[in-house]
Structure 1
């Protein structure tokens, strides 16, 4: 036995020799960066466990809304009163409340316009000033009195006369109005999530971000009051909605919620068809194209008030138009529950390769995602033709009235897919758009392959080349949406996330293990507010893997992969020795195909852990024979940025 000092000296000498033998001055790879001893993620706590689950002390506040709103389609003015009951489930008393006023982004001096993230297409053009006109905030119920408020760009702060204690609720009403953004023809704004589409039979109103909405108070960042700048989307509390929408009787209204008073807002003929559609497995025309211009297709009175109900949802949207063709059908989900699919569109969109297939696409999407991931939570899904390229809300989506063919299917499938992210899994879109857009695109791609024997290719039509997703100039996936250059939004927040999750599913974990873990994440965080760390922890725990190397390479950094064949030692009668070096900062499993001189092939796969302590890995081929060719990743599955060094071939 060696004495301790001699032992230490021997270890030091051995390590130096090993380092001299296997290291390369050119490699950027540092094993300890991806395989650290200290955890990459922040420690778990009683609110959010280290296993990626909501903890025993997890809390979440609640916002219930009763909204009475009217649309004047002559002046394009929205007038409303939002009565909000806010329940404080946090452990602390609250002296103030915060709300989002997203319509204020349309004001000329808004931060969105000043930061040039939410732009006028023509900066010199004079446009009407938009935004909320708040007429007052008042306590409701047994308490009476005005609430003092302050408006800062797209946020409103309410000062409470008495602290709202833990477990208590407060009810207050906000009276407001705003001019509907004029956003068609020579469009004023580059971002349109609330909009008007003119058609030959009347305007189509896409009504969203139309009421003051409570900001989220959570255990991670307290009040989430990031301003709405136009690019980022939303982070909202869950609650129940009762919405009463008054419009001229000639307009048909559809919304996120269930219609409570069909007999008051439909003609006897339309009511009979609507009731039939709720039970019919085939599409029913509630109002046909021929009836759009027939006054008798609508009730003969000045106005109609459409009453809707939606429970346990994070938002509510609606649409109204005189021009709607209205189609509905009903179908069963895997759990046996019936859901109604509703499509509203102008006669101009009634094309076979477009909106005439809307019911078919709604049915497929809801059935597929419900069976694969989590049951569809609402009683209805509405697809609205608009001049929005695609925007999602609980139980309702807006898709382009002009789309046809593959892109029409892709957009309908994608927007309805947002039901699962972020309508069910309520992540913070304002900061982590990839947790809804990228996750959604990932499940979309699986669904697209399953639809009608692969009839469509989906978003592949507009995808960037794979190599471009790992360009050096790209920011990390976790970058806040408003901080991303416009040309990086789709490649990063959508495409790269979908690609990365598909890689994790198909190559690293396997489909069965990944799907089980992904379903558990959805189930655990349904109607809650997960962070990226919760997702990473959840997948690690469910899969039984430490995926630090993957999360850091693909999500937290823009690390690049470059696996290189540095040496092939081969001669007849001996097993070949192949040496591969990891040249860049990312790590991935290693796949190698060996072709021997006699034409036989050998396929070898090695896990990412081969890179835990070194940038160089050597292995021995199974066959005692000379090698003719060696190729890393022959199917080009992994995102290697330099494939010129992936091959070795004996020249004859």
Structure 2
């Protein structure tokens, strides 16, 4: 009989000399991390031959009760099952339930007591208990009014189908609901209402307002992660037919195209709108004077605005009698798109001057780098916040009451408009899963925002995009940083992680690693492949490589999967003189080197006392070796030189005759993140030369590498990353010889000489200029 022997296998790192060895190569391919290509998503990053996605069409009737601040709605949803699977239930998103008093959002939010805590801050801890938030579902039925069984699990609702929904079939159902609109300035949030104390009027920004289909796809099945507040929205494309009933003096800005302008707009407004279509400058459709008149009267009857939108993933609208409205036509590759802005008088003159121009600029720049903007309108609504939806976004941009503004509010407003309008492309068209990966829409969009800002005016003060701007975050405490590839609800430093770092990474890819031509082609290919589809991170990574023939696995791994920082140091420089083998030349070099050696201290002291040696006293003691110099050339040296010369051609001799300097630079990877080595050689004659070494130099050793430079001129200074293009977190070790960092400081009196911003209560530059003229 054979004995049965059981082995317990434990995977442990191999230890040799107390050092752990494991495969942590920076250039290890991403194959193990990325999903296996299949018929739905290919290895090239393109949609596969059998790619599919669901569709959901909505017919909605909604009304706003201005006295109660309540939205009432009813909808019919037709869901198309394009998947190869049979479905027995559907999942619906009830995002307003994040504001219910029993919401997990409030339960998991950490709180600390602070001095000066006010009543509103205490009320926010439990989600403002007096506010009855959340979707109030009244009924759920089939299209022929038969009750459907449903289960609400926090921000998700499951509808159990009466019969299985097979592949290729569709199912229609109805939902009636209402919810109490939140006071956005008090409670925060992406949407809500703002009431102006001066005139008692309200601006409504209605978002996440209707029960919406969750995404069902080939990657996750149902994407029904709970909505906790940070992770935004995974949504299905469809067609919308929406009727919105509001007070008759309200102007409604909405996703889609207005279907009943004759019932809604005055003849003057329609005429102005037609003029705007052909104008290359904004045309005011509802003037400030007309809006101010409505603010004083406040109609008590209602009107219904009818909008339709095709192939959109969401729907939002704004409504107010305070709205001024302007518009202009934008030519996008032969198609006219209406760029429009809606804003209260409190946002003038800043909004009237810049908003619609910024909308038009965004459409033009983004269309150049991604796809032609496909929708008929793009809208910016001033609502003292920033949030995006198909064809419409809500932004801030209010000057001081005297009409002046600081540069911060001006450029902040232009930037937020570019950013939120830009979201039409990411994720409204290139429809990534925001609930899972915030960076896929915010990061890519922030990168394109940076391109648009830089094309707005020279020296635009972009906040995110330049490599050096991300340095403070990258060199921060690692315990307070998460990799970009982290679920949206688990991100630390949300803005830096999901907006700043990926935008910077893409800018470095474009400007430093790939070059503009390769990057722009691949980035546009990604946008075209995944327009109106649901891309995942692997689809982006693979497409960027597939369309450029650049292996970027090391880059994705370092920048997106780790929290390592860029810190490359010039650890050492070795200078080597070329050996010409000419005895005359080399002897002179050796003697000069010897003569420049420091003297021994005994020799120095002997010279000081003018010591006379015995040989000096007795010359007869001198022999051959007293005049012999071992560095002198002999006949054998000259013979060897003649033989060497005979083997050289004319070009070799000319090269040797010229002056050359040879330097070995040793580079150390201190931060861990491998990057290209960009080194500037500054010469003694005042000129300079920049050398670019691809990141692949680190392939065999990602800790220390060496590179030899042969120069025709003497180098006086070596500088790493001279243009601050790699986000190197420590520039002090970028110089050889070392250059001390200059730390500038200023003494401050308490409360004096502090930075002044538009909201500080101090005069902005425009106000100071006016004051100086008096």
Normalised TM-score (structure 1): 0.89
* Aligned mates of 2:111, 2:289 — CA distance in 1: 40
Does residue 1:594 correspond to 2:587, yes or no? Answer: no
Cα deviation digits, residues 213-252 of structure 1 (max 9, x gap):
0000011111000111112211100000000001121211
**1:50-78 superposed Cα distances (whole Å, 9 cap, x missing partner):** 10010011110001111011111111111
Q: Which residue of 2 aligns with 1:603?
A: 690
Q: 1:372 to 1:36 in 2, by over 3 A?
A: closer
The aligned residue for residue 249 of structure 1 is 248
Q: Which residue of 2 aligns with 1:456?
A: 460
1:310, CA displacement in angstroms?
0.4
Number of paired residues? 618
> Secondary structure of 1:290's match?
helix
- Give the equivalent residue in structure 1 for 2:138: 135
Larger Rg: 2
Change in CA separation of 1:372 and 1:183 when aligned onto 2, cut-off 3 Å? closer
1:116 aligned to which of 109, 122, 132: 109
CA 1:289/1:78 → structure 2, altered by over 3 Å: closer, same or farther? Answer: same
Pairwise CA distance, 1:516: 0.3
Secondary structure of the structure 2 residue equivalent to 1:291: helix
3-state SS of paired residue (1:209): coil
Q: Which residue of 2 aligns with 1:19?
A: none
Question: Which of 510, 513, 532 does residue 518 from structure 2 map onto?
Answer: 513
The alpha-carbon distance between structure 1 residues 546 and 427, as it changes in their structure 2 partners (threshold 3 A), is same
Query: What is the CA–CA distance in structure 1 between the aligned matches of 2:19 and 2:272, rounded to whole Å?
Result: 72
In structure 1, what is the equivalent of residue 387 of structure 2? 391
For 1:118 and 1:37, locate their aligned partners in 2 and report how far apart those are by CA, in whole Å.
39
- Compared CA separation, residues 367 and 299, structure 1 to 2 (3 A): farther
Output aligned runs, 1:150-169, within 5 Å: 150-169=151-170
Aligned to 1:10: none
Structure 1 regions of 5+ residues with no counterpart?
1-24
Q: Which moved more, 1:526-535 or 1:629-638?
A: 629-638
Specify whether residues 350 and 594 from structure 1 end up closer, same or farther in structure 2 by C-alpha distance, changes over 3 A only. closer
Rounded to whole Å, the distance in 1 between the matches of 2:327 and 2:397 is: 17
Tell whether 2:645 aligns with 1:641.
no
1:179 maps to what in 2?
Answer: 180
Deviation of 1:31 (Å):
6.2
Call closer, same or farther: CA 1:31–1:648 in 2, change over 3 Å: farther
Q: Is the 8 A contact 1:576 1:625 kept in 2?
A: no
User: Of the candidates 576, 579, 598, which is equivalent to residue 666 of structure 2?
Assistant: 579
**What is the deviation of 1:147?**
0.8
| Partner in structure 2 of residue 22 of structure 1 | none
Q: Is the 8 A contact 1:99 1:155 kept in 2?
A: yes
Q: Matches of residues 556-571 of structure 1 in structure 2 within 5 Å? A: 556-571=561-576
Q: Deviations over 1:95-143 (max 9, x none)?
A: 0000100011111111111111899733365431111111111111xx5
Matches within 5 A, 1:228-627: 228-294=227-293, 302-333=301-332, 335-351=333-349, 353-387=350-384, 389-402=385-398, 404-451=409-456, 453-454=457-458, 456-459=460-463, 466-471=471-476, 472-473=478-479, 474-485=481-492, 488-573=493-578, 575-596=662-683, 601-614=688-701, 615-623=703-711, 627=715
Could you say what secondary structure the match of 2:196 adopts? strand
Q: How far does the alpha carbon of each residue in 1:181-220 deviate from its partner, in whole angstroms, 9 at most, with x for none?
A: 1233xx1x24343333436441000001010000000111
CA, structure 1 residues 118+182, in 2 after alignment: closer, same or farther (shift >3 Å)?
farther
Deviations 1:385-442 (A, max 9, x none): 113x210000001011526411111111111011110011000111111111111111
Q: Secondary structure at the match of 1:121?
A: helix
RMSD: 2.9
Task: Please give the secondary structure, in 1, of the residue aligned with 2:163.
Answer: strand
Distance in 2 between residues matched to 1:193 and 1:29, nearest whole Å: 50
- Using the alignment, how far apart are the partners of 1:360 and 1:493 within structure 2? 27
Q: How far apart, in 2, do the equivalents of 1:178 and 1:448 lie?
A: 38
Counterpart in the other structure of 2:147: 146
Q: Is the 8 A contact 1:85 1:170 kept in 2?
A: yes
Pairwise CA distance, 1:272: 2.5
Does the 8 Å CA contact 2:213/2:236 hold for their aligned counterparts?
Answer: yes
Contact kept, 8 Å, 2:471 with 2:728, in 1: the verdict is no
Equivalence for 2:744:
none
**Aligned to 2:547, what secondary structure does the other structure show?**
helix
* Contact 2:432–2:535 (CA under 8 A) maintained in structure 1: yes
Aligned CA distance change for structure 1 residues 593 and 109 (closer, same or farther; 3 Å): same
* Contact map agreement 1:118 1:231 (CA 8 A) in 2: no
The answer on whether the counterparts of 2:379 and 2:421 sit within 8 Å (CA) in structure 1 is no
C-alpha separation in 2, matches of 1:596 and 1:512:
31
Equivalent position SS for 1:122: helix
- Distance of 1:326 and 1:118 partners within structure 2: 42
Displacement of 1:312 after TM fit? 0.5
Identify the residue that residue 582 of structure 2 maps to in structure 1.
Answer: none
Report the Cα distance in structure 2 between the residues aligned to 1:624 and 1:284, rounded to whole angstroms: 63
C-alpha separation in 2, matches of 1:55 and 1:641: 41
Distance 1:100 1:75, change over 3 A: same
The more displaced of 269-278 and 76-85 is 269-278
Tell me how far apart the structure 2 counterparts of residues 465 and 539 of structure 1 sit (CA, whole Å): 23
Q: Per-residue deviation at 1:638?
A: 1.4
Q: Structure 2: 5+ residue runs without aligned partners? A: 1-17, 113-119, 400-408, 579-660, 740-774
CA contact under 8 A between 1:191 and 1:231: conserved in structure 2?
A: no
Partners of 1:330 and 1:542 lie apart in 2 by: 34
Q: Secondary structure at the match of 1:421?
A: coil
- The range that moved more, 583-592 or 172-181, is 583-592
Structure 2 vs 1, CA of residues 457 and 628 (structure 1 numbering), >3 Å: closer, same or farther?
closer
Cα distance in 2 for partners of 1:554, 1:598 equals: 39
Q: Which residue of 1 aligns with 2:44?
A: 51
